[in-house]
Structure 1
């Protein structure tokens, strides 16, 4: 598998399953996308996420309606035949199959693929798929973020526990990376505006991002980091 980032802004994510796994998936997408969770019951975290949105009791002819809020809770227990109706109704860009019923998850996966949506089936790992995953069958990786820096890691579904442990280790390693990304991006544009040759520009930025002095200075504040970075750049440009 090749890792890719996907912008779900303005899109809908449909999650089948309101337990711990469905809750974790919903919270992962809620900051960016509209999330609809279909389940007969919801764990406490999901209820908290849905407080700003709406909850509807689903009937045979009813529908889940929601206005504000990033997570919408639809109280229903769809069987394998009903999941396709939900997908047709919600028109999601991504379907997450996270119930404890393999038949429902399989039906959700098949219906999502038929509808041209991406699908994340949580009860089947890469190791369980002898034929591999289709192009629209995706893994949602563990992520570590220090905006605008984002690091994604995955074990292919083989070991969520390992993914969590690695994420915790990486969190410490990238502390301050967001500030460095902002600073180095600004410096790069300034050097370009000054007409600095590309090779010298690249060397200057490489020196900045590898400078322990700049990293330490950034911990004190942006202005301190900028002063240290300017010294590093001038040393490169004047040598």
Structure 2
């Protein structure tokens, strides 16, 4: 598999399974998608998630619907009906055989499908680090989800000021366009400022301080 950013705004995602795994998957998609979770029971976190969604989502482009159903009793036709109008399907039950049934039906429909336990789907939901200006996805290819989550926590704890640097670089690019004609020179300056530890140090005191340093040293 290869990493790919995909715009799912307003699309419907159906998740089978209301346990901790289903909750994690729902939290992943809920910011941009209309999420439906189907399960006989739902873990406690869904109550909090539903409350936050009601306060933040408009219901048109994102939202959460919980449907109570005995998944083991659903026929293939009923499962097919549940995912008739969705873009992404996720099997997150504790029953591997059921997950694989959902997989087979989803594949026939040409859906994007993630299988938490069973035959590998055609997508994997990664562990994601989000900033104001960036997103980083981490995946172990399903071999160790716990390690992927650890890597995310480690990165969040130890990562430098990427949001501030992105904003600084955006301002610098616009400045260079007006002051430096040579594209190769603009590229050299941008690369050099990113590699310059002093720029990162000055950035801790604010973007203006960092920009003053850049002007003094590079412009």
Give your verdict on TM over 0.5.
yes
**Displacement of 1:111:** 2.0
The separation in 2 between residues aligned to 1:218 and 1:195, in whole angstroms, is: 23
TM norm structure 1: 0.80
Equivalenced residue count is 212
**Displacement of 1:15:** 0.7
The separation in 2 between residues aligned to 1:143 and 1:195, in whole angstroms, is: 37
The separation in 2 between residues aligned to 1:147 and 1:160, in whole angstroms, is: 25
Partner of 1:85: 81
**Displacement of 1:224:** 2.2
Map residues 123-202 of structure 1 onto 2, 5 A cutoff. Answer: 123-124=117-118, 137-202=122-187
**Displacement of 1:16:** 0.7
Q: What are the Cα deviations for residues 14-49 of structure 1, in whole angstroms up to 9, with x where unaligned?
A: 111110000001001111111111111111111211
- C-alpha RMSD of the superposition: 2.2
Q: CA contact under 8 A between 1:80 and 1:108: conserved in structure 2?
A: no
Q: CA contact under 8 A between 2:127 and 2:152: conserved in structure 1?
A: yes
TM norm structure 2: 0.87
Q: CA contact under 8 A between 1:13 and 1:35: conserved in structure 2?
A: yes
- Greater displacement, 67-76 / 20-29: 67-76
The separation in 1 between residues aligned to 2:147 and 2:53, in whole angstroms, is: 34
Sort the Cα spacing of 1:229 and 1:192 in 2 relative to 1 into closer, same or farther, 3 A: same
Q: CA contact under 8 A between 1:205 and 1:233: conserved in structure 2?
A: no
Structure 2: gaps spanning 5 or more residues:
none
The separation in 1 between residues aligned to 2:40 and 2:18, in whole angstroms, is: 8
Partner of 1:6: 6
SS of 1:220's partner is coil
Partner of 2:109: 115
Q: What are the Cα deviations for residues 81-110 of structure 1, in whole angstroms up to 9, with x where unaligned?
A: 22111011xx11111110112232112212
Structure 1: gaps spanning 5 or more residues:
55-65, 235-239
Q: Aligned match of 1:74 in 64, 67, 88? A: 67
The separation in 1 between residues aligned to 2:67 and 2:210, in whole angstroms, is: 49
Q: CA contact under 8 A between 1:52 and 1:70: conserved in structure 2?
A: no
Divergent runs of 4+, >6 A = none
